[in-house]
């Protein structure tokens, strides 16, 4: 295999809340409007931002995390993207060094922050600077002149409050929700703002070296897996779906909100999401709850993560105290909290070895169920999570990344 060359940028900032998603989405939308093939990635275990970025780029968005995924797999994804893309964009997570936010009102402060981020680690490949919320052409010139000659000024995005992306407790609203709030118009305007004061420049191409691609064993050949996917359950890695297909499974999608029956399948995959925002609809769909119960009683595999784990409990209470009966396949209840309950990367050991993933939730579980095993938080961050089993049903708060251990992933559906 040959090396691939492609312009690539990782968009980062001093901290969270600096507009990384808006800038990355605007760049994706702009370059797509210039008839360039754009591939976008999101650093870290995020489900919501990739929905916005996928809409902007008109293509699937994959995550990049060295611990959860492994370096070789990250390199494989980037190499594949470089073989088909005209530009690669990677949205960073939090701050570049997880630092505190700094004021950038003055040009000297802007340059100091940019220079500090670029030079804090000498081996960091620095592409250039993007200025966000720029007030005028003069402001853009002032910012550019303040930078050292060695630092390329790539883009100055003009200030416009109308392109901001609305959010809730777990982050931004989902892409389908913002579509109803004119997402396309917001991105179109954001793309225009990229060239209002200065040209939008691409960085120099990056060389992506080939990696060995291992063909997965067809452990799920002939298996049909029903995957929940709707407004209540949409937190799923595209790489997880790819992995299941590469293992030989056929995937069929259904909606616990709207559908009355399940597809004819061998197993069910219930990803995370926002069941607390759809309490009554989920409670009222008794036919779907019955279909899930019958599947479980037939001892067919069900795997549920986070939001779907809550959906399988007996009862769920939202942050306003409204309670509703859920599917009742697992004994217990959960209540939404005003503050974050757990956040962090986790390792989980099952029969087929280690799986890796993350936990991120605002609900508190109340149950007498026996815990099958416990997760191990990375570097002791966050709390351990319980992994539960009831016959062929397996569930927890964890969002697992299947390609880290495909054999373990296959075991969840056999």
Locus of tokens 């790539």: 154
**Is 243 annotated in the active site?**
no
Distance CA 237, CA 246 (A): 14
| DSSP letters for 246-303 | HTTPEEEEE-TTT-SS--S-SEEEE-B--GGGGHHHHHH-HHHHHHHHHHHHTT--EE
The token duo for 215 is 């063909």
Contact 313, 270 (CB under 8 A): no
| DSSP letters for 140-182 | HHHHHHHS-TTS-EEEEEEP-GGG---EETTEEPPHHHHHTTT
List 6, 74, 243, 306, catalytic entry = 306
The token duo for 190 is 């954001």
The dihedral through the CA atoms of 179, 181, 257, 340 has a sign that is positive
**Long-range contacts formed by 279-284: CB under 8 A, 24+ apart:** 279/316, 279/318, 279/322, 279/323, 279/324, 280/324, 281/232, 281/257, 282/232, 282/256, 282/257, 282/311, 282/324, 282/326, 283/324, 283/325, 283/326
Strands (E), 12-138: 38-43, 62-64, 87-91, 129-134
Q: Rounded to the nearest 5 degrees, what angle is found at the Cα of 63, between the Cα atoms of 60 and 68?
A: 150
Give catalytic residue positions.
306
């Amino acid at each position: 295999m040959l090396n691939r060359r492609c312009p690539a940028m990782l968009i980062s900032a001093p901290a969270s809340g600096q507009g990384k998603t808006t800038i990355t989405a605007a760049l994706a939308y702009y370059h797509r409007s210039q008839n360039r093939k754009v591939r976008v990635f999101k650093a870290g275990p995020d489900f919501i931002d990739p929905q916005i970025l996928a809409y902007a780029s008109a293509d699937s968005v994959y995550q990049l995390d060295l611990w959860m995924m492994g370096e070789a797999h990250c390199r494989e994804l980037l190499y594949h993207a470089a073989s088909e893309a005209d530009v690669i964009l990677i949205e960073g997570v939090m701050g570049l060094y997880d630092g505190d936010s700094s004021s950038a009102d003055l040009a000297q402060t802007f340059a100091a922050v940019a220079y500090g981020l670029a030079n804090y680690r000498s081996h960091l490949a620095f592409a250039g600077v993007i200025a966000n919320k720029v007030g005028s052409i003069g402001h853009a010139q002032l910012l550019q002149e303040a930078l050292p000659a060695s630092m390329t000024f790539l883009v100055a995005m003009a200030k416009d409050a109308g392109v901001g992306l609305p959010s809730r407790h777990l982050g931004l609203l989902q892409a389908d929700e913002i579509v109803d709030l004119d997402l396309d118009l917001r991105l179109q305007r954001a793309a225009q703002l990229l060239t209002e004061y200065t040209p939008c420049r691409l960085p120099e191409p990056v060389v992506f070296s080939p990696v060995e691609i291992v063909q997965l064993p067809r452990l799920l050949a002939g298996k049909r897996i029903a995957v929940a996917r709707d407004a209540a359950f949409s937190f799923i890695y595209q790489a997880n779906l790819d992995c299941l297909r590469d293992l030989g499974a056929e995937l069929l999608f259904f909606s616990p909100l709207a559908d009355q029956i399940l597809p004819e399948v061998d197993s069910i995959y219930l990803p995370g999401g926002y069941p607390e925002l759809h309490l009554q609809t989920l409670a009222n769909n008794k036919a779907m709850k019955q279909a899930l119960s019958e599947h479980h009683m037939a001892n067919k595999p069900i795997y549920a993560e986070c939001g779907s784990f809550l959906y399988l409990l007996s009862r769920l209470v939202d942050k306003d105290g409204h309670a509703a009966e859920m599917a009742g396949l697992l004994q217990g209840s959960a209540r939404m909290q005003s503050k974050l309950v757990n956040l962090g990367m986790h390792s989980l050991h099952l029969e087929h070895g280690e799986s890796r993933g993350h936990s991120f939730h605002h609900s508190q579980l109340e149950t007498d169920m026996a815990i099958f095993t416990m997760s191990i938080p990375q570097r002791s961050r966050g709390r351990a999570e319980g992994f539960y089993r009831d016959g062929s049903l397996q569930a927890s708060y964890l969002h697992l990344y299947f390609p880290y251990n495909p054999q373990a992933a296959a075991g969840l559906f056999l």
